[in-house]
């Protein structure tokens, strides 16, 4: 029966990888993009999960043990976890499936996450965890505190989610669809974010009774299983191997299969800055998630669907941590202008040559050198991007982790004139969704979008007259 954890985890890994499903990005977009569109996908998970768990509880199939609310631990832990996932570049489940895409930075963050979580639960930091949780209010769920049926909350969040989904879907139909990769079959295309959210919610419903049948009275969870995986690796004690451990291992396997089969797996080595952030982020993730009693899965999806005080307050302070981290750490790089010509990447140059055979960039003039390097015209477009001629600029974001390709693209695009083109090379998988979506929302036109190899893409965006359909009022 314990092997069902591996199967459920594998399915979860496929869905998350194909849906680019990461709670960090959903909340981060509220601060960076002023958009609640992604956050609604999290509400879809919670609503579907809430309906399923309430039904299973009402019929006696499961009997959840509700965690009591320890304010100091949950607030501090949630905030630290939010900071950590900004530094690490993804939430707990996101770090697992991005590791399966070949991101070495995620491997480092995952190792640090496991280390600090294990230290908090079983090792040197266990005293800190116990002390922080010593102030316990005894409160469990909001419905119980109010003396009402949880179904009132289930219906309320389901109705709210339904309205928001309809609103955002209606907005999508009133403007051009976000660009899709042009040289891929349908089966390789990512899942719609809301479809992925509904599937994650359903998987969570199925997970609980299967997990409970093995003696683990819980559903989806990442932090304790991650710590237990490390404990088993170090001690060899098979008592640490449970349904949850097989769940996270299955998630890794499923995400790898999905990434490899769709050409989205490639080992990518981080630079020094990303490596340091991965170490710090992973350590904060493990400490924060243990204090808060769960990560964006355990708290943000499961406990919220049970309407526990812990789940909703932890989610709130995770969001606060993400907001603070985004403000201080997610900024475009400072441009360093230079007059030294540099050779443009072959993928970008080849694309412009094919698209504009008669452009100045392809016209050889005796005694003149083609301007493919950085040129100093006192603008970010020229300082950060290569001027390819005929109104085309190339931005090389290969190796940059999300959301930095998008951040840099927005920074350069702000200095372009309407009608000029920005050609972006990137290898961040999530960018295949976030960059086209940004282009649509900001009124730009995607004129070309294709892959350039294993886990590498190129998108060409023509700047429009920005008329953003801002949705921050939701």
Q: Catalytic residues, which ones?
A: 402
* Interatomic CA distance for residues 433 and 19, integer angstroms: 9
Closest CA to 450 of 89, 188, 177, 97: 188
Judge whether 43 and 304 are in contact, CB under 8 Å: no
Q: In what order do the strands lie in the sheet with 421-426?
A: 386-389, 392-397, 421-426, 456-462, 445-453
What the block records as the tokens of 234 is 């170090």
Reduce the DSSP state of residue 452 to 3 states and report it: strand
Q: Residue 337, Cβ neighbours under 10 Å: how many?
A: 14
* Interatomic CA distance for residues 98 and 22, integer angstroms: 10
N- to C-terminal Cα separation, the chain: 44
β-pairing verdict for 456-462 and 445-453: antiparallel
Judge whether 445 and 423 are in contact, CB under 8 Å: no
Torsion of CA 411, 417, 418, 420, to 10 degrees: -90
């Amino acid at each position: 029966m314990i092997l069902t954890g591996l199967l459920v985890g594998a399915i979860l890994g496929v869905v998350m990888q194909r849906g680019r499903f990461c709670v960090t990005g959903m909340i981060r977009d509220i601060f960076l993009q002023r958009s609640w569109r992604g956050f609604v996908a999290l509400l879809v998970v919670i609503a579907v999960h809430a309906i399923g768990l309430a039904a299973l509880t009402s019929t006696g199939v499961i009997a959840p043990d509700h965690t009591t609310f320890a304010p100091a631990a949950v607030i501090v832990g949630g905030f630290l976890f939010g900071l950590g996932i900004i530094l690490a570049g993804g939430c707990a489940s996101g770090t697992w499936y991005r590791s399966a895409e070949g991101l070495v930075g995620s491997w480092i963050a995952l190792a640090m996450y496991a280390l600090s979580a294990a230290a908090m639960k079983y090792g040197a930091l266990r005293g800190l965890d116990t002390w922080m949780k010593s102030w316990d209010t005894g409160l469990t769920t909001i419905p119980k505190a109010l003396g009402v049926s949880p179904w009132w909350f289930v219906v309320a969040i389901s109705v709210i989610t339904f309205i928001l989904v309809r609103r955002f879907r209606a907005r999508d139909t009133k403007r051009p669809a976000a660009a899709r990769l042009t040289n891929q079959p349908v089966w390789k295309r990512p899942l719609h974010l809301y479809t992925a959210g509904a599937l994650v919610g359903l998987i969570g419903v199925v997970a609980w009774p299967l997990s409970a049948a093995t003696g683990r009275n819980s559903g989806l969870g990442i932090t304790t299983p991650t710590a237990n995986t490390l404990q088993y690796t170090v001690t060899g004690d098979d008592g640490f191997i449970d349904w949850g451990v097989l769940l996270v291992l299955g998630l890794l396997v499923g995400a790898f299969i999905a990434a490899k089969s769709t050409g989205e797996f490639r080992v990518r080595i981080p630079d020094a800055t990303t490596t340091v952030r991965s170490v710090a982020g992973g350590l904060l993730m493990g400490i924060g998630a243990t204090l808060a009693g769960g990560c964006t899965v355990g708290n943000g999806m499961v406990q919220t669907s049970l309407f526990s005080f812990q789940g909703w307050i932890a989610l709130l302070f995770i969001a606060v941590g993400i907001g603070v981290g985004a403000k201080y750490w997610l900024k475009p790089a400072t441009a360093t202008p230079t007059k030294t010509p540099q050779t443009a990447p072959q993928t970008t140059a080849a694309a412009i040559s094919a698209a504009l055979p008669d452009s100045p960039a392809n016209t050889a003039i005796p005694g003149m050198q083609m301007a493919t390097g950085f040129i100093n015209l006192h603008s970010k477009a020229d300082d950060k991007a290569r001027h390819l001629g005929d109104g085309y600029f190339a931005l090389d974001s290969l190796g940059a982790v999300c959301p930095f390709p998008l951040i840099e693209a927005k920074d350069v695009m702000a200095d372009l004139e309407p009608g000029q083109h920005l050609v972006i090379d990137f290898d961040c998988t999530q960018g295949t969704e976030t960059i086209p979506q940004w282009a649509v929302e900001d009124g730009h036109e995607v004129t070309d979008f294709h892959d350039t190899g294993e886990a590498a893409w190129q998108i060409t965006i023509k700047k429009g007259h920005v008329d953003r359909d801002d949705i921050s009022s939701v």
